[in-house]
A and B are shown apart, each in its own frame.
Chain A
Amino acid sequence: DTEVTQTPKHLVMGMTNKKSLKCEQHMGHRAMYWYKQKAKKPPELMFVYSYEKLSINESVPSRFSPECPNSSLLNLHLHALQPEDSALYLCASSQESGQNYGYTFGSGTRLTVV
């Protein structure tokens, strides 16, 4: 299994809603990442988890709350988002956060905030 699975694929939420994005991998990777990608832009790093601990938070607003329940799962909890948060949210994993094996990306969740 060489995939990173993200659910849901599409999500529309209101500014007062609470929702969660899920990411799962079964490759034994110990580093997992959340990226945000706006249209026609490269992905931007949000969070890095290494061995289930948050190692990097790129000054992301607190309305985005990551969680890593175990080595295979990564969640992104969303609350009180703004319309400008609408984007493609990509999850990725790699063997280690300190190594350079490249990332395996999921297909993303396309989020629309209304």
Chain B
Amino acid sequence: AQKVTQAQTEISVVEKEDVTLDCVYETRDTTYYLFWYKQPPSGELVFLIRRNSFDEQNEISGRYSWNFQKSTSSFNFTITASQVVDSAVYFCALSEWMNNGRAGNQFYFGTGTSLTVIP
């Protein structure tokens, strides 16, 4: 089973539109961390946000906002007033401590959502 599901493979929006990228995760741990990374065409993975499982406060950073809902195991990412520079692949990721009895930081990426912002 997928640990992190990003159901939207590709999204296209027109510049200045708002867009929400969905992320659903699965874990049995009570302590875990969720992340969003941006990967522009240049290839580098850029860290956007980290959220721990005990902090369900939504977060806003400029045009970016994140909605963490433990009840639905979702950690969605919204870009407000999208810009062409937002075009990239966005990965949601989960980090949990234990998996199958092997201790250590296990990091799971979703399959990514490719966002294209059309000028």
Q: Which residues of A contact B107 (CB under 8 A)?
A: 45, 103
Residues of B11-45 at the interface with A, using a CB-CB cut-off of 8 Å, are 32-33, 35, 37, 42-45
Q: Name which residue of chain B comes closest to A55, CB basis.
A: B104
Whether, in the assembled complex, B52 has its beta carbon less than 8 Å from a beta carbon of chain A, the answer is yes
Q: Name which residue of chain A comes closest to B47, CB basis.
A: A102
Interface of B, secondary structure class, is strand
Whether, in the assembled complex, B73 has its beta carbon less than 8 Å from a beta carbon of chain A, the answer is no
**CB of B87 to closest CB in A, whole Å:** 15
| A90 and B42 alpha carbons, distance in the complex (Å) | 12
Q: Which residues of B contact A59 (CB under 8 A)?
A: none
Interface of A, secondary structure class, is loop
Contact of B50 among A48, A101, A106 (CB under 8 A): A101
**CB of B49 to closest CB in A, whole Å:** 9
Whether, in the assembled complex, A97 has its beta carbon less than 8 Å from a beta carbon of chain B, the answer is yes
Q: Name which residue of chain A comes closest to B95, CB basis.
A: A100
Give the interface residue-count category, chain A.
20 to 34
Of B63-71, B74-82, B109-117, the stretch lying at the interface with chain A is: B109-117
A88 and B104 form a contact (CB under 8 A) = no
B43 and A98 form a contact (CB under 8 A) = no
Whether, in the assembled complex, A61 has its beta carbon less than 8 Å from a beta carbon of chain B, the answer is no
Whether, in the assembled complex, B105 has its beta carbon less than 8 Å from a beta carbon of chain A, the answer is yes
Contact A100 to B43, CB < 8 A, known contacts A42-B110, A43-B109, A56-B104: no
User: What 8 A-B pairs come out closest when comparing CB atoms?
Assistant: A42-B109, A105-B45, A107-B44, A100-B33, A108-B43, A102-B50, A100-B95, A102-B35
